[in-house]
Amino acid sequence: MLGGFASLVDAGTGRGGYVDGIVLPVPARARDAYTAMARKTAEAFLEYGAVRVMEAWGDDVPEGKHTDFRRAVLLEDHEHVVFSWIEWPNRELRNAAWPKLMEDPRMRPDGEMPFDGKRMIYGGFALLVEA
Going residue by residue through the chain, which has 131 residues, state the pLDDT in tens, using 9 for 90 and above: 455 677 788 878 777 789 999 999 999 999 999 999 999 999 999 999 999 999 999 989 999 999 999 999 999 999 999 999 999 999 999 999 999 999 999 998 888 899 999 999 999 999 887 76
Residue 51 lies in a domain: yes
State the pLDDT at residue 3.
59
State the pLDDT at residue 1.
45
Residue 34 lies in a domain: yes
Residue 57 lies in a domain: yes
Closest CA to 22 of 65, 55, 66: 55
* Edge-to-edge strands, sheet with 79-88: 4-12, 52-60, 79-88, 18-27, 121-126
* DSSP symbols for 18-57: EEEEEEEEEEGGGHHHHHHHHHHHHHHHHHTT-SEEEEEE
Residue 131 lies in a domain: no
| Residue range(s) defining the domain that contains residue 85 | 4-126
- Beta bridge partners, 77, equal none
Q: What is the CATH number of the domain that holds 27?
A: 3.30.70.100
Residue 36 lies in a domain: yes
State the pLDDT at residue 13.
76
Residue 108 lies in a domain: yes
For the chain, the domain total comes to: 1
Residue 28 lies in a domain: yes
